[in-house]
Amino acid sequence: MTPFELAEPLTVADALRFLDPDDSTVRPLGGGTALMLMMKAGVFRPTRLVSLRRIASLSRITALPDGGLVIGALTPLSDVEHSTEVARRAGVIVRTMRRLSNVRVRNVATIGGCLAHGDPHMDLPPVLMALDASIAVAGRTGKRTLKVENLFAGYYETVLKRDEIITELHIPAQGGRRAAYLKCTTGSADDWPALGVAVSFEAEGSAISAPRVVVSAATEKATRLNGAEAVLSGATIDDALLARAGDAAADEAETISDVRGSAPYKRELLRVYVRRAVRQAFEAERPLSSPPPLAREGREGAQGGAH
Amino acid sequence: MTALRTISFTLNGKQVSAQIAPHHSLLEVVRNDFSLYGARESCGQGLCGCCTLIVDGRAVSGCLYLAAFADGAAVETIESLDRDNVLDPVQEAFIEEGAFQCGFCTPGFVLMVKQLLDEHPDPDDDRIRDYLSGNLCRCGAYPEILRAVKSAARKRRASKAA
Ligand SMILES: Cc1cc2nc3c(=O)[nH]c(=O)nc-3n(C[C@H](O)[C@H](O)[C@H](O)COP(=O)(O)OP(=O)(O)OC[C@H]3O[C@@H](n4cnc5c(N)ncnc54)[C@H](O)[C@@H]3O)c2cc1C
Ligand code: FES
Ligand code: FES
């Protein structure tokens, strides 16, 4: 790695002063897991990194009285994974963590880094979009909040300015919403996914409402699938509905080809995984008194994916 | 611009300090400044676990961990298990089960297994796979490693009960 200057401010205000709106070689530093890889590969040569680790106020998990959660941007993923409040209020996040990289990376990588990196293959952004999460962003001219769904501008691109930092993640109360995230890895099991699908919805008996369906990895950036959502919205869940939702998703998503699969292949994966994800969310988080499970999908259903 | 700085931390229980540049990894520092060679860089990308170090009780990949982050922390390496020829139960179990061939990956596996058993004294297979999915063994001793984890867990529980 090439040498750089490391700033370790104690407050957000000081951190902002070290950043530079006009210099792409100055960047905030969270856990450094992604930046270290980029620096080692020589694709990023910083002149200055602004470490946010010493800003104590940024690594707390707060359970709000209304059922929501606030997670500081510097909170390591493993703290989120092991939080009983997160497990209780947004269990899908904890289930997602189990297959997100490995224990050592989760011990160091931060929530802010997961969001700001903008890699479309990452697991948490689609999940947080499905949960309708938003982030608090601090800049020199003040603070703003932004829905996670509006954060990504393209492949490895976000709408954040060079002198802005993410300070907090806010996950609204999920009430009785059910959620699931599935990913499909086409290389080794722990490779980056060819496809990620996150869903969440309310279910009243078998009737689905307010669905959110998000695709990641197979597209340029994590994207909501409005067509699939429209199919699910207000409908009664059965196998035919799942099939139509999968078809709608496959019709609208702009999948891209890469080493993990061709665009048409990922389109077919999406068709199947939307079906599975909705099914899993419906069944896995089914309250005890709800209707009997759907017919099993044979081989397909059994392969399930994420835990 | 890239002035050296001094960091202080405990290394295997001893208070130490080192002169580092901001771009040095913690792995480079324990190897180059303290001649502790049990952790080694192999993939350099967080995937293989050969560089595993424990910082404030948590396993990290030393190859991706800036040395500057260790300022004020407690750092442990595999050498912390060196206690006058008394083996840790995890080390004993690895030997008894033959859980290595060349041994290159072993320090990382032993530290991850210790971390696993500290947090989950009686892990099931899923849990073991979760903790060890970031450790690669090119010799392919995985079946023996799984057996060693279970045997180490039994040893630790037995010595706790005694
Ligand atoms: C071996 C390995 C395997 C991985 N596997 C997976 C996986 O399966 N799934 C997955 O989702 N991820 C995976 N990751 C990616 C990992 O999640 C990212 O490396 C991590 O999320 C980055 O977090 P960080 O805190 O280390 O970020 P850093 O490396 O510190 O920063 C990453 C980027 O975000 C910016 N940034 C960091 N914090 C902030 C902030 N608060 N405000 C503004 N900008 C900020 C930095 O400037 C930089 O551009 C893997 C990583 C490794 C090393
Ligand atoms: S060398 Fe660090 S994880 Fe492989
Ligand atoms: S024993 Fe040789 S790499 Fe594991």
Q: Atom 49 in ligand 1: which residue has the minimum CA distance?
A: A117
Question: Are the C-beta atoms of B127 and B134 separated by less than 8 Å?
Answer: no
Domain A56-171 part of CATH 3.40.50.970: no
Spell out which residues of chain B touch residue A36, defining contact as CB-CB under 8 Å: 25, 63-66
pLDDT at A289: 46
CA distance B140 to chain A (A): 15
- Identify the architecture of domain B5-77 in CATH: Roll (3.10)
Cα–Cα distance, B24 to A40 (Å, whole number): 11
pLDDT in tens, B32-58: 999 999 999 999 999 999 999 999 999
Q: Whose CA is nearest to atom 33 of ligand 1?
A: A117
Give me the helices (H) in chain A, please.
Answer: 12-18, 33-40, 77-81, 84-89, 91-97, 103-108, 111-116, 124-130, 226-232, 239-252, 263-284, 299-303
The residue of chain A with its CA nearest to that of B56 is A107
The correct CATH number of A178-283 out of 3.30.465.10, 3.30.390.50, 3.30.390.30, 3.40.50.1970 is 3.30.390.50
Of A234, A236, A229, the closest CA to residue A251 belongs to A229
Query: Does B111 contact chain A (CB < 8 Å)?
Result: no
Alpha-carbon distance values, A32 to A50, A107, B65, B122 (Å)? 11, 12, 7, 32
How many angstroms separate the alpha carbon of residue A110 from the centre of ligand 1?
7
**What is the rounded distance in angstroms from the CA atom of residue B154 to the CA atom of residue B162?**
12
| Cα separation, A90 vs A61, whole angstroms | 13
Ligand 1 center to A72 CA (angstroms): 15
Our measurement of the distance from residue B96's CA atom to the centroid of its chain's CA atoms, rounded to an integer in Å, reads 20
Centre a 10 Å sphere on the Cβ of residue A298 and count the other Cβ atoms it contains: 8
- The pLDDT score that the predictor gives to residue A294 is 58
Does the C-beta of A51 come closer than 6 Å to ligand 1? no
CB of B43 closer than 6 A to ligand 2? yes
pLDDT under 50 in chain B at which residues?
A: none
Query: Is the fold of A5-51 the same as that of A56-171?
Result: no
Q: Where are the domains of chain A?
A: 5-51, 56-171, 178-283
Q: What DSSP assignment string belongs to A191-259?
A: SPPSEEEEEEEEEETTEEEEEEEEEESSBSS-EE-HHHHHHHTTPBPSHHHHHHHHHHHHHH--B--BT
Tokens found for residue A156: 């490895």
The residues, any chain, with a CB within 8 Å of residue B64's CB and separated by 6 or more, are A32, A33, A36, A37, A105, A108, B25, B45, B46
Whole-angstrom Cα distance, residue B11 to residue B27? Answer: 12
In this predicted structure, what is the pLDDT of residue B143? 96
Angle made by CA atoms B59, B75, B138, in degrees to the nearest 5: 45
CB A31 within 8 A of CB B68: no
Give 10-residue mean pLDDT values along chain A (307 residues).
94 97 97 97 96 96 97 98 97 95 97 97 98 97 96 96 98 96 90 96 95 98 98 97 98 96 98 98 66 46 36
pLDDT number for residue A1: 84
Nearest CA in chain A to B1: A5
C-alpha triplet A151, A186, A262: angle, nearest 5°: 75
- Measured CA to CA, the distance from residue A110 to residue A168 in angstroms comes to 11
> Dihedral of CA A279/A280/A284/A285: which sign?
negative
Rounded CA-CA distance A158/A122 in Å is 14
Kind of pairing, strands B5-11 and A223-224? Answer: unpaired
Q: Which residues pair with A216 in a beta bridge?
A: A196
Q: Are strands A178-184 and A195-204 parallel, antiparallel or unpaired?
A: antiparallel
| Segment (H or E) for A183 | strand A178-184
Here the tokens at position A102 are 């490995």
Q: Provide the pLDDT for residue B46.
A: 96
* Cβ of residue A183 lying under 6 Å from some atom of ligand 1: no
What is the position in ligand 2's atom list of the atom closest to the CA of B136?
4
User: What CATH topology corresponds to B84-161?
Assistant: DNA polymerase; domain 1 (1.10.150)
- The CA distance from A184 to B153, in Å, is 33
CB-CB under 8 Å, A102 with B47: yes
Cβ distance of A4 and B64 shorter than 8 Å: no
CA A169 centroid distance within chain:
11
pTM for this model (two decimals): 0.94
In the structure encoding, which two tokens stand for residue A273, read together?
Answer: 């995984």
Strand arrangement of the beta sheet that strand A207-216 belongs to: A178-184, A195-204, A207-216, A223-224
What residue ranges do the domains of chain B occupy?
5-77, 84-161
CATH code assigned to A5-51: 3.30.43.10
pLDDT at B2: 66
Q: A176 near A163, Cβ under 8 Å? A: no
Dihedral of CA atoms A31, A54, B79, A100 in degrees, nearest 10, equals -20
Distance between A71 CA and the closest CA of chain B, angstroms:
20
**Residue A210, both tokens:** 């307010």
Q: How far is B98 from chain A, CA to nearest CA, in Å?
A: 25
